Amino acid sequence: MADELVPAAAGRGRFRRTLLWLTTITVPVLCVEMSGFALTRIKPQLFDERTPFLATLRPENFARFKAGSASRLLGWDNPPGRTVKQRNCAQADITYTFDEDHLRVHNDRPARNATVLIAGDSYTEGEEVEDSETFPAVVERTLGVAVANLGVGGYGPDQALLKLEALADRFPQARVAVLAIIYDDLRRMLNSYRPVLSGNTGIKFGLKPYMRDGQFQEIPGGDPFLDFASFLAAANLAFDEDYWRRPRARPPYSAAAIDAALSPTNWIPTIHQNLMQGQSQMSCFSPSSRFVRACARSTTGSSGWRNRAILRRWLSSSQPTFRTSAAANSPLRPQRAPTGRRSRSAMSVATSTGAAIAARPATPTSTATG
């Protein structure tokens, strides 16, 4: 009898040890999983929010976007040949006037006679200010030369460059191109669908070209503006593959929480906020007024007359020609002018992070960064 009890006691001992190990392992795992689940409920903005966002999109709104703003090359553009009146953040009525080339105009002269082309985002377009108060309009009055405004709200440098190349041949008198850039534009270059990067954007149908591995990539989805179903498929693809994508809040929640912590779209803005502590915040009219003041300072003051004289002399001596990309390898890949001789189809390009910088005509294509 005693011999029979020994194996039974040993079996119960093994069972207890196994149960103890399972409990030791399972309880922490469950705690971690429950913590991940709690994070998805407490901080839903850290996770993919495509379902509620896409539910707000309507076929009739898509049809209006397709008819007025959609662009297979750029993603979106200004409405052509329209005058729009809106109230800005200071409750002032603002007039936005666009010509048939999707350019915001600031006077009655044809934009195609411009000597200077300025491409960029809403800072360049002049969001929140009147036509005559935009950054390009102030540059035109300051320098005394015709300036075309190629800015579009929400654009990254990739879209601005593509628009500049697409329209360059329509400006036979152009001698200088300015690519106006702000720090936030760099994040937009990696973004293929605007709402993935900025969930509160007004550009809800904003699929766009983007940069991947140093190369331009076309708008996701092939032909996403063909119909509403094609657009939704492309938008879902972008939510899955965009550089700024967020993980979905689904099991295992612990893995989703780790992905959220490592996602660039969550930790890069945190670093930026820490770096910007103590800096002055943007005011209501910042999209254009600060850019205008920066540009004005570059041509005013003790050396302003000299800057204006140098730019005017350069404008009068350089050739009014520009080279567009010929799409040798890709319809989105910018092409360089041949080196070793001055090309008659080359126009100097200047880039700026706050003010217009005059490009020098010493080389076929020179780029200045400020």
Longest dimension (CA), the chain: 115
User: Residue 152's Cα: distance from chain center in Å?
Assistant: 10
Q: Does the pLDDT at position 74 exceed 50?
A: yes
Give the pair of three-digit tokens for residue 26. Answer: 């399972």
Phi, psi of 116 (to 5 degrees): -120, 130
Average pLDDT of span 29-56: 90
According to the model, what pLDDT value does residue 365 have?
33
Quickly tell me which residue has 């996701």 as its tokens: 220
Average pLDDT over residues 277-284: 50
Q: Are 111 and 151 in contact (CB under 8 A)?
A: no
Burial class (CB in 10 A: 0-12, 13-18, 19+), 12: exposed
Least confident of 99-108, 245-254, 289-298: 289-298
First to last CA, the chain: 94
- Least confident range of 146-150, 199-203, 271-275: 271-275
pLDDT of residue 9: 62
Cα–Cα dist 80/99, whole Å: 6
Percent of the chain with pLDDT over 90: 49
What value does the mean pLDDT take over residues 47-70? Answer: 95
Average pLDDT, the chain: 78
* pLDDT tens per residue, range 75-92: 999 999 999 999 988 889
Tokens of 233: 């498929």
Residue 293 has pLDDT above 50, yes or no: no
Task: Give the 3-state secondary structure of residue 86.
Answer: strand
Q: Which of 52-66, 159-173, 350-364 has the lowest mean pLDDT?
A: 350-364
> Considering only 63-67, 194-198, 236-240, 354-358, which range has the smallest mean pLDDT?
354-358
pLDDT tens string 128-147: 999 999 999 999 999 999 99
26 vs 271: CA distance, rounded Å: 35
pLDDT category of residue 3 using cuts at 50, 70 and 90:
low
| Amino acid identity for residue 241 in this structure | E
Q: Please state whether beta strands 93-97 and 83-87 pair in parallel, antiparallel, or not at all (unpaired).
A: antiparallel
Identify the pLDDT of residue 309. Answer: 56
What pLDDT band is residue 10 in, cutting at 50, 70 and 90? low
Task: Examine the pLDDT at 166 and tell me if it is beyond 50.
Answer: yes
Helix, strand, coil % in the chain, rounded to nearest 5: 45, 10, 45
- Ranges of each domain in the chain: 57-241+299-334+343-368
Residues 6+ apart with CB under 8 A from 105: 97, 98, 99, 111, 131, 149
Mean predicted confidence (pLDDT) in 352-363: 35
Structure tokens at 171: 């400006």
Q: What is the pLDDT of residue 27?
A: 82
User: What is the structure's pLDDT at 276?
Assistant: 59
Give the residues across from 193 on adjacent strands.
207
Per-residue pLDDT of 326-349, as tens digits, reads 333 333 443 333 333 333 233 444
pLDDT value at residue 8: 62
pTM: 0.72
What does the pLDDT read at residue 11? Answer: 65
For 321, counting Cβ atoms within 10 Å of its Cβ (0-12 exposed, 13-18 middle, 19+ buried), the class is middle
Provide the pLDDT for residue 329: 38
Give residues with Cβ within 8 angstroms of 244, minimum separation 6: 187, 190, 191, 196, 197, 263, 264, 265
Beta bridge partners of 85: 95
The rounded percent of the chain whose pLDDT value lies above 70 is: 70
Question: Which has the higher per-residue pLDDT, 71 or 265?
Answer: 71
Residues 70, 133: Cα–Cα separation, whole Å = 27
Predicted confidence (pLDDT) per residue in 95-120, tens digit: 999 999 999 999 998 999 999 999 99
Give the residue with greater pLDDT, 273 vs 63: 63
- Tell me the two tokens of residue 161: 């460059």
Banded pLDDT at 16 (limits 50, 70, 90): confident
Q: What's the whole-number mean pLDDT along residues 298-324? A: 48
